[in-house]
Amino acid sequence: MSDEKNTSGGVMPMVEAASAENRTSPSDSENVANNQPSSLLATSALILALIALIVLSWQWLNTRQRFTQLEQVLTMRLEQYNLNNQQSLAVSKLADERSIEASARIAMLEQKLDESRNQQEALQTLYYELANTREERLMAEVEQLMTIANQQLQLAGNIKPALLALQTADSRLQQVEAPQIIQLRKALSQDIQRLQKLPLVDVIGMSAKLENLAESVNELPLVSDRHPQPKSTQAPDWGDSSWRKLAYEVWQDLRQIIRLERIDRSEPPLLAPDQNYFLRENIKLRLLSARIALLQHDEVTYKADLRAVEKWLLDHFDMHESASKLMLSTIRQLSADDIVIEVPDINESLMLVNKYKLALERSKPAEKPVSASDR
């Protein structure tokens, strides 16, 4: 704007000078009048050129100033970006380091987790095997005890050993906690109560007595082996009666030669030596047959054999001897005992034991722990 004022100030004197010249000289005024349009145009063009130059200069300066400001802003932003980029790189590096550490920790934790899982599976498998093995072993023991009890009842009729075996099996079942055991223990308790109500027959004791009797048969004295015992009688004092004394001595001699005995028996008691041997062997066989009948609970055969032994004892053996009397008393006592007892059936309890064992075997695959490889 100052340039424009200076330019306008310089132009004005020039116009005034031209006007003065025109006023002074007519010829010159005509020349001036002729040249005035061209000068005005030149002046206007110059003014416009100056104005355009000024405008262009101002725009150039303004544009340069804007470029400078923009450059400064861009520089500041670039520096800020570089700073942010460096910070981002540092953060990224730190994040990478932490990510590596986290990955290492995760890998270590996964390894420990796998080890812990393997240990847990091993413990579960071991516990499963131990639990099943213990329970199966316990049930096998219970089954064996109940089988022994059943054999004692059905084959030998021994109430006491069978009762003891069932009570032992019931005590073993107390260690198993399973719903199926309740029904088994209930059936077993009923079997025990039925056995406790039965009269006890000492089969083993009776069999031992029969065996002892058979061993003592050879020691029994026969009737034919018995001899009269001489009686020590004091001779009476006959005084002067010699014939009475002679008669008494003759009578004593006759008594030593002749023996009178009353025998109220259907069979002759006297036997030959070989017959004595077979008699004793037959008694042994009868006692053995009675033992077998006792174990088989064959009461008819048992009592028939004992009656035969009793008859032979009375017919052929000396009942005045204590050994014969003791054997006869024992035979009669054994004959009076009943050996037939209706033993209860424990097959239901055995069936429940087998059923539970089968359930244990079937449950093995379903309860077996799943390994990590299967997952």
The kind and range of the H/E element at 371 are none
Regarding whether 332 and 359 lie in a shared domain, the answer is no
pLDDT of residue 263: 53
Quick one: 311 and 357 in the same domain? no
Say whether both 210 and 313 belong to one domain.
yes
What confidence tier does 302 reach under pLDDT thresholds 50, 70, 90?
very high
Say yes or no: 206 and 191 in one domain.
Answer: no
Which pLDDT score, from 0 to 100, does residue 362 have?
76
* Residue 10 belongs to some domain of the structure: no
Q: Give the Cα separation of 164 and 149 in Å (integer).
A: 8
In this prediction, residue 355 carries a pLDDT of 86
Q: Are residues 327 and 206 in the same domain?
A: yes
299 and 353 housed in the same domain: no
- Residue 164, domain member (yes or no): yes
Q: How much is the CA Rg of the chain, to the nearest whole Å? A: 72
Structure tokens at 140: 């096998």
| pTM (two decimals) | 0.44
Q: Can you give the residue range of the structural domain that contains 288? A: 202-224+267-340
Residues 129 and 166 in one domain: yes
Asked whether residue 159 is domain-assigned, the answer is: yes
Q: Is 337 helix (H, G, I), strand (E, B) or coil?
A: coil
In a shared domain, residues 184 and 288: no
Q: Tokens standing for 274?
A: 């070989």
pLDDT for the residue 127? 58
Predicted confidence (pLDDT) at residue 369 exceeds the cutoff of 60: no
* Helices and strands per DSSP (H, E), number in the chain: 11, 0
- Residue 347's pLDDT is 84
Examine the pLDDT at 211 and tell me if it is beyond 90. Answer: yes
* Overall average pLDDT of the 134-138 stretch: 79
Task: Give residue 154's pLDDT band: very low, low, confident or very high (50, 70, 90).
Answer: confident
> Is pLDDT above 80 for 325?
yes
pLDDT at residue 132 in the model = 58
Domain assignment present for residue 252? The answer is: no
- Contact call for residues 244 and 238 (beta carbons, < 8 A): yes
The amino acid that residue 190 corresponds to is: Q
Same domain, 288 and 355: no
Percentage of the residues of the chain whose pLDDT score is greater than 90: 13
Structure tokens at 215: 């061993």
Integer Cα distance of 156 and 130 in angstroms: 38
pLDDT digits (tens, 9 = 90+) for 219-245: 888 877 665 555 555 556 656 667 777
pLDDT classification of 364: cutoffs 50, 70, 90: low
Helical pair 299-316 and 273-295, crossing angle rounded to 10 deg: 160
Other CB atoms closer than 10 Å to residue 43's CB: what's the count? 14
Q: How many domains does the chain have?
A: 2
pLDDT in tens, 108-126: 888 888 887 887 777 766 6
314 and 302, same structural domain?
yes
Yes or no: say if 291 and 258 are a contact pair by the CB < 8 Å rule.
Answer: no
Residue 21, pLDDT > 50, answer: no
Is 278 among the domain residues? yes
Task: Answer whether residue 65 is part of any domain.
Answer: no
**233 assigned to some structural domain:** no
- Based on the fold, state whether residues 215 and 306 are members of the same structural domain: yes
Assess whether 292 and 192 both reside in one domain.
no
Say if 87 falls within a structural domain: no
